[in-house]
């Protein structure tokens, strides 16, 4: 069995009550060019368990036949588990039964409607699965005529409608390469949120955090294309099979797994799954003390990178070179635990309480390990979020100064941490309002973070605000395929088109973002702005009315109602904006006054906004609503003070 001159061999695992179906399947697989071992072939007098063990070890693939009976069979569970551990499991379901926990991440060929035909597509799928595990190609068989599938009229109309919608979506959507699915890079991988098997939902933060740390570690290797967290996280519930998930993410492989944390020990199971076949290509279980969790993380990331790069990019650099770097990390479990808790709170982005709770956790992580660079960078971003969204006018400057100091400390500790440089650029630009000072850290982040979607997107938006539209487009073209299911990155793509004054092209990405998240803030207002620039004032008004955020909705209405010659409605929106939000929206007041032809008042508002650190000023260089001020030397000097060249 398994000799070089023989056909591929498979071990057929099944429950005794499914014997008749197993016999038909064995015959079909034999006819398809495989040698099948199942327990009817045990030699007389042979030790049953020893014979099974030997066959499991030497076969090319283990075909596990799941059914209502099989999921309760200890024999099938053990045999399938051994096939998984040996990375040669090919699961099927005889009656549509879902595989048991621990095997659901693998695509199972559905035989519930198979009628014993060896030429059926189901048998062909199993043969492909055997080949994917490393088994030799099956012996050729005579060509078979496969009935052509019927295509329903509804399906044809749906496809035609999709093509029409895509054509109407605008050039920007396709300029950034955002066709759904498509060919995935040979070393593209998505790290799915690891399942929490600890028995307590309170441990979700740990399993999620571990998978995110693995993603970040893999992303440091320039030979890999690693899907960003926001897109990968959408498949937490595993409601779809591996092939479907990989297609939606546009990746070749999935890294899936589970974490069981109990007391001072942890068991981590990791699987690399082929996105084309749904079958496992590598699987391993790690049992460690919690103090060794960092070694487990490094071991998993290193093994995955080695496997993918060696197999599919053999001419690339040493796969372990970047993996061995622990830039930004910690070796202190208490610090790691607090950091993961903080990340979980920060990602909620629910309210001021959750942001400040996240800050408390990052402070705890830094207290446990003062040299934890990633925690300093996360602290900087949290301080910036609090300042921009919840900080009182008098405390904004102090919060932003603290954010910049935290980002600088992260870089001091880990000079090669792309996220730290990106965070410093962000805080200098959004907090200090200094576009010139932000340029160097943003440029460094682009050099170090070519595989990190968030880093690339931040750089793209900064470049767009500074008028560097080619750099912005190049960065966004790299970022979008790495985070294609994240509505925020599509909204960002639209804002880059708008900054370049490609009004029509800016609408499609914003619409895509709203398709993904209908409640997303600022997307309707962004579409409204573009419509107004094209003179479609009624369309713009409808978009502004749909905008859920007060400042963007009221600002848009004050602008568009004035263009529609409804001055009372425009003034009512402006009065509400000032009464309800006051000095927090000085920039927006300047936009409105500039469009209303009140240049002196608009400039006074912008000067006041600069004095108070209003982050809206980052848009000033190419904001079309400020065009009436561009001939005024006072406005030119204002841009100079903001660091725009």
Q: In terms of DSSP bridges, do strands 253-262 and 9-13 run parallel, antiparallel, or are they unpaired? A: unpaired
Q: How far from each other are the two terminal CA atoms of the chain, in whole angstroms?
A: 72
Per-residue model confidence as pLDDT tens digits over 240-255? 788 888 888 888 888 8
Dist CA 406 CA 262 (whole Å): 34
Instruction: State which H helix or E strand residue 345 sits in.
Output: helix 333-348
pLDDT of residue 397: 82
pLDDT of residue 538: 97
Task: Report residue 133 CA to chain centroid gap.
Answer: 27
pLDDT of residue 164: 35
Are the beta carbons of 256 and 271 closer than 8 angstroms? yes
C-alpha distances out from residue 399 to 348, 378, 597, Å: 21, 14, 35
Q: Closest by alpha carbon to 65, among 34, 42, 99?
A: 99
Q: In terms of DSSP bridges, do strands 35-37 and 188-191 run parallel, antiparallel, or are they unpaired? A: unpaired
Q: What is the band of 282 on the pLDDT scale with cuts at 50, 70, 90? A: confident
Largest CA distance in the chain: 101
Residue 410 has a CB neighbour count (10 Å cut-off) of: 26
User: Residues of the chain with pLDDT > 90: what percent?
Assistant: 42
Q: Across 202-211, 218-227, 618-627, which has the greatest mean pLDDT?
A: 618-627
Q: Give the pair of three-digit tokens for residue 341.
A: 């808790």
* Strands of 148-207, DSSP E: 188-191, 195-196
pLDDT of residue 380: 96
pLDDT of residue 139: 52
Per-residue model confidence as pLDDT tens digits over 315-344? 554 444 444 344 567 888 888 889 988 988
29-33 mean pLDDT: 87
pLDDT of residue 438: 97
C-alpha angle with apex 95: 91 to 99, nearest 5 degrees?
Answer: 40
Q: How many residues does the chain have?
A: 645
Per-residue model confidence as pLDDT tens digits over 161-211? 333 333 333 344 435 544 444 445 677 888 888 888 877 777 777 777 778
pLDDT of residue 144: 37
DSSP string, 198-262: SS-GGGHHHHHHHHHHHHHHHHTSTT-EE--HHHHGGGTT--S-HHHHHHHHT-SEEEEEEEEEE
What SS3 class is residue 272? strand
Q: Across 113-122, 191-200, 510-519, 595-604, which has the greatest mean pLDDT?
A: 595-604
pLDDT of residue 178: 46
Can you list the domains of the chain with their CATH numbers? 9-132 (3.40.50.10140), 188-321 (3.40.50.10070), 326-449 (1.25.40.10), 521-645 (1.25.40)
Are the beta carbons of 23 and 41 closer than 8 angstroms? no
Per-residue model confidence as pLDDT tens digits over 471-527? 999 999 999 988 888 898 999 999 999 999 999 999 999 999 999 889 888 999 999
DSSP string, 276-343: TT--EEEEEEEEEEGGGHHHHHHHHHHHHHHHHHHHH-TTSS-HHHHHT--TT--S-HHHHHHHHHHH
Q: Closest by alpha carbon to 330, among 339, 322, 321?
A: 339
Are the beta carbons of 484 and 231 closer than 8 angstroms? yes
Instruction: State which H helix or E strand residue 617 sits in.
Output: none
Q: Give the pair of three-digit tokens for residue 238.
A: 């595993």
> Which sign, positive or negative, has the C-alpha torsion 273, 279, 284, 290?
positive
pLDDT of residue 40: 54
Q: Give per-residue burial for 379-388: e unless 16+ CB within 10 Å, then b.
A: bbbbbbbbbb
pLDDT of residue 394: 73
Q: What is the band of 310 on the pLDDT scale with cuts at 50, 70, 90? A: low
Are the beta carbons of 65 and 94 closer than 8 angstroms? yes
Backbone phi and psi for residue 133, each to the nearest 5 degrees, phi listed first: -80, -5
Tell me the Ramachandran region of residue 535: left when phi exceeds 0, alpha when psi lies from -120 to 50, beta otherwise: left
Dist CA 264 CA 625 (whole Å): 59
DSSP 11: E
C-alpha angle with apex 514: 508 to 519, nearest 5 degrees?
Answer: 155
Per-residue model confidence as pLDDT tens digits over 531-559? 999 999 999 999 999 999 899 999 999 99
Helices (H) and strands (E) in the chain, counts: 28, 11
Instruction: State which H helix or E strand residue 271 sits in.
Output: strand 265-274
pLDDT of residue 138: 58
Q: Give the pair of three-digit tokens for residue 174.
A: 């396709």
Residue bearing tokens 């199993």: 126
Tell me the Ramachandran region of residue 417: left when phi exceeds 0, alpha when psi lies from -120 to 50, beta otherwise: beta
Q: Give the pair of three-digit tokens for residue 271.
A: 């699987």
Per-residue model confidence as pLDDT tens digits over 43-79? 333 344 666 777 788 888 999 999 999 998 888 988 8
pLDDT of residue 570: 97
360-372 mean pLDDT: 95
């Amino acid at each position: 069995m398994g000799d070089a001159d023989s056909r591929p061999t498979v071990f057929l695992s099944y429950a005794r009550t499914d014997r008749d179906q197993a016999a038909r399947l064995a015959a079909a697989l034999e006819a398809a060019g495989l040698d099948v071992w199942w327990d009817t072939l045990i030699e007389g007098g042979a030790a049953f368990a020893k014979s099974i063990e030997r066959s499991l070890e030497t076969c090319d693939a283990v075909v596990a036949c799941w059914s209502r009976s099989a999921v309760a069979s200890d024999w099938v569970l053990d045999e399938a588990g051994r096939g998984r551990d040996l990375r040669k499991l090919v699961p099927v379901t005889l009656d549509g039964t879902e595989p048991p926990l621990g095997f659901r991440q693998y695509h199972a060929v559905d035989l519930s409607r198979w009628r014993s035909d060896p030429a059926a597509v189901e048998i062909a799928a199993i043969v492909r699965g055997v080949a994917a595990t490393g088994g030799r190609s099956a012996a050729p068989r005579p060509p078979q005529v496969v009935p052509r599938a019927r295509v329903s009229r509804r399906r044809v109309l749906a496809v035609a409608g999709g093509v029409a919608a895509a054509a109407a979506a605008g050039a920007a959507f396709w300029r950034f390469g955002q066709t759904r699915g498509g060919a995935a890079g040979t070393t593209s991988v998505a790290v799915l949120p690891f399942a929490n098997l600890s028995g307590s939902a309170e441990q979700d933060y740990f399993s999620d955090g571990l998978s995110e740390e693995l993603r970040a570690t893999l992303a440091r290797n320039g030979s890999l294309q690693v899907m960003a967290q926001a897109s990968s996280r959408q498949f937490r519930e595993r409601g779809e099979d591996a092939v479907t998930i990989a297609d939606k993410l546009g990746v070749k492989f999935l890294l899936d797994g589970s974490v069981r944390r109990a007391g001072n020990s942890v068991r981590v199971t990791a699987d690399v799954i082929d996105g084309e076949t749904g079958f496992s290509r590598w699987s391993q279980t790690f049992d460690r003390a919690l103090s060794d969790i960092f070694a487990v993380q490094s071991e998993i990331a290193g093994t995955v990178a080695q496997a993918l790069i060696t197999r599919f990019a053999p001419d690339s650099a040493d796969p372990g070179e970047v993996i061995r770097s622990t830039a930004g990390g910690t070796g202190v479990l208490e610090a790691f635990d607090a950091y993961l808790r903080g990340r979980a709170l920060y990602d909620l982005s629910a309210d001021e309480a959750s942001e400040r709770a996240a800050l408390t956790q990052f402070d705890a992580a830094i207290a446990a390990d003062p040299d934890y660079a990633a925690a300093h960078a996360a602290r900087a971003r949290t301080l910036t979020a609090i300042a921009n969204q919840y900080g009182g006018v008098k405390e904004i400057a102090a919060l932003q100064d603290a954010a910049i100091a935290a980002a600088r400390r992260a870089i001091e500790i880990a000079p090669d941490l792309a996220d730290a440089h990106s965070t410093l650029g962000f805080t200098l630009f959004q907090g200090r309002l200094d576009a010139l000072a932000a340029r160097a850290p943003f440029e460094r982040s682009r050099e170090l973070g070519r595989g990190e979607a968030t880093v690339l997107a931040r750089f793209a938006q900064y470049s767009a605000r500074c008028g560097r539209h080619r750099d912005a487009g190049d960065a966004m073209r790299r970022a979008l395929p790495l985070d294609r299911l994240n509505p925020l990155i599509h909204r960002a793509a639209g804002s880059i088109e708008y900054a370049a004054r490609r009004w029509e092209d800016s609408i499609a990405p914003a619409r895509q973002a709203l398709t993904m998240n209908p409640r997303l803030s600022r997307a309707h207002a962004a579409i409204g702005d573009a419509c107004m620039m094209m003179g479609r004032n009624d369309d713009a008004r409808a978009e502004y009315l749909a905008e859920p955020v007060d400042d963007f909705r009221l600002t848009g209405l004050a602008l568009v109602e004035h263009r529609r010659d409804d001055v009372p409605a425009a003034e009512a929106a402006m009065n509400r904006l000032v009464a309800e939000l006051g000095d927090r929206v000085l920039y927006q007041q300047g936009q409105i006054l500039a469009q209303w032809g009140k240049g002196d008042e608009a400039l006074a508002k912008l000067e006041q906004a600069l004095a108070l650190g209003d982050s809206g000023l980052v848009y000033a260089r190419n904001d079309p609503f400020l065009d009436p001020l561009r001939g005024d030397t006072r406005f030119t000097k204002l841009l100079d003070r903001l660091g725009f060249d």
